[in-house]
Amino acid sequence: MSASRTGLLITLLVAALPIHAEQLLIHGGRLIDVAAGKVIDEVSVTTDGDRIASVTEGYIEPKNGQTVIDLREHTLLPGLIDTHVHLSTVISPTFFMEKFVMDSADYAFRSVSYAEQTLMAGFTTVRELGDQDYNLTIALRDAIENGYVKGPRVFTAGKGLATTGGLADPTNGLRRELMGEPGFVEGVINGPISARQAVRQRFKDGADWIKLNVTGGAINPGRGSLGVQWQQDELDAIVITAADYGMKVAAHAHTVAGIQRSVRAGVRSIEHGTFMDKATAKLMKDRGTAFVPTMTAMKWLAAPDSDADAMPAEVREKVTDVGSQIDQTVRMAYESGVWIVFGTDAGVFPHGLNGREFAYMVGAGMPPLAVIQSATIEAAKLLEMADELGTIEAGKLADLVAVRGDPLNDIALLENVAFVMKDGEVYKR
């Protein structure tokens, strides 16, 4: 091969690769070091492509080719992580009608805007815990990763799992001809055998996590109990099978029996956990199970910003209990030493309002720094991504956000993130 043809080949190969050559220098007025639990004043962060290259105290001068970003009036934090969202969902008074009138493409395009709203709110990573349209967010995850649409990095469970008639059985409340008999493909299981099948189906579909709906839910149409809907052998089969495939399990559970069975089976996180008692908190602490309180969703259901955003009336009645209970539960869990990780249940309330969770968690007695850690380093641990995400450190992925002022003094500032960087790329400035 001639030298010029070799040169052309190299040029073509390079052109085919994504270019991440940009080098940025950020001057931040303050940086929250979530690993050490301290604040560093006047700091310089450099990036090289999608990675953080250095973190230095003081404002250093730019080197050749570095673009300077002036955030000297701002506080820098690691990219925020919401470990409980539903990017294909938004609750409205007509929510239950959607499946009769919306096609998969309608859900998909709508979810694109929700993904972008989430990223612009400062959430550079999310865990998706239950698709409205089968496995839509598996495709959404890949589309974001490929750069087709803007959104956070997604770890997804795809379609959440239910038992017959339980929360997330997609045919609940329908007339008999429409009910059919959904099975493990649709995410409905009965007994350990179909539990295993459902996990393997999710693996085949490309999911990262398994989501279980172990108790009834506040927004379940039809019969509304919050009681337990899974038996121990079914939960055990799920967790053992998921572990074989390198998948982790998250369990929606409001009541004590549901939480305890899930924890004993070995799930990684309990979602909502509303009626957790002290004995259950101790069990979770002993087992190292994470608690994801989703306070924003519960507050929203009890008192939405407007009627246009409200739930159907029959659901509103079920949720008042849940909204008032969660403050006490988070306070008790924090005092008991339970591992609390940030997650909102966005989709139950409008996407992009995820930052409201911070003030709710502080209102329930958690120190502001602990709440910020729960949305960064602790969330990264739950996702088993702590080597790559969760802190602003040389070598990690360059995910960082900034807010004007000091969120440790005023936690609600995190509802207005001014600057968003993901993978070294600036999305909001």
Residues near Zn ion (CB under 5 A): 345
CB of 338 to Zn ion, least distance (A): 19
Contact 216, 254 (CB under 8 A): yes
- Looking only at the bridges linking them, the beta strands covering 23-33 and 419-422 are unpaired
H or E, element range at 117:
helix 104-120
Q: Are strands 123-128 and 80-85 parallel, antiparallel or unpaired?
A: parallel
| CA–CA distance, 129 with 276 (Å, rounded to integer) | 21
Alpha-carbon span 385 to 389, nearest angstrom: 6
Report in angstroms how near the CB of residue 86 gets to Zn ion at its nearest.
Answer: 6
Say if residues 109 and 137 touch (Cβ distance below 8 Å). no
Residue nearest Zn ion, CB atom distance:
345
Q: How far, in Å, CA of 102 to CA of 27, rounded?
A: 46
Residue pair 270/259 in contact (Cβ under 8 Å)? The answer is yes
Shortest distance, position 156 Cβ to Zn ion, whole Å: 12
Residues linked to residue 76 through DSSP beta bridges, in sequence order: 31, 402
Q: Closest distance between Zn ion and the C-beta of residue 160, in Å?
A: 8
Smallest gap from residue 159 Cβ to Zn ion (A): 13
Nearer to Zn ion (CB atom), residue 55 or residue 301: 301
- For the chain, the first-to-last Cα distance in angstroms comes to 48
Smaller CB separation from Zn ion, 157 or 189: 157
Closest to Zn ion by CB, 171 or 294? 294
Helix H or strand E segment including 73: strand 67-78
Tokens of 255: 């009541």
The residue among 126 and 188 lying less far from Zn ion, judged by its C-beta, is 126
Residue among 275 and 427 whose Cβ is closer to Zn ion: 275
Residue number with CB closer to Zn ion (186 or 271): 271
Do the bridges between strand 38-48 and strand 51-57 make them parallel or antiparallel, or are there none, so unpaired?
A: antiparallel
User: 196 or 254: whose CB is closer to Zn ion?
Assistant: 254
**Strand, helix or coil for residue 265:** helix
Structure tokens at 62: 């730019």
Question: What is the smallest separation between the CB atom of 239 and Zn ion, expressed in angstroms?
Answer: 19
- At CA 280, angle to CA 286 and CA 331, rounded to 5? 95
**Residue that is written with structure tokens 């993978």 in the block:** 423
Q: Compute the least distance from the CB of residue 219 to Zn ion, in Å.
A: 9
Q: Identify which of residues 30 and 272 has a Cβ nearer to Zn ion in the complex.
A: 272
| Shortest distance, position 422 Cβ to Zn ion, whole Å | 23
- The continuous run of DSSP H or E covering 33 comes out as strand 23-33
The CB-of-9 to Zn ion minimum distance in angstroms stands at 50
Which one, 82 or 345, has the nearer CB to Zn ion? 345
**Least Å from the CB of residue 420 to Zn ion:** 24
Distance of CA 429 to the CA centre of its chain: 23
Instruction: Using the minimum distance from each CB to Zn ion, give the nearer residue, 75 or 111.
Output: 111
Nearer to Zn ion, 143 or 219 (CB): 219
Angle at 209 between CA 206 and CA 210, to 5 degrees: 105
Reported as type and span, the H/E element at residue 47 is strand 38-48
Grouping H, G, I as helix, E, B as strand and the rest as coil, residue 109 is: helix
**Taking every pair of C-alpha atoms in the chain, what is the biggest distance, in angstroms?**
77
H helical segments located in 266-416: 278-287, 295-302, 313-335, 356-363, 368-374, 377-382
Amino acid identity of residue 7, one-letter, is G
CB of 191 to Zn ion, least distance (A): 25
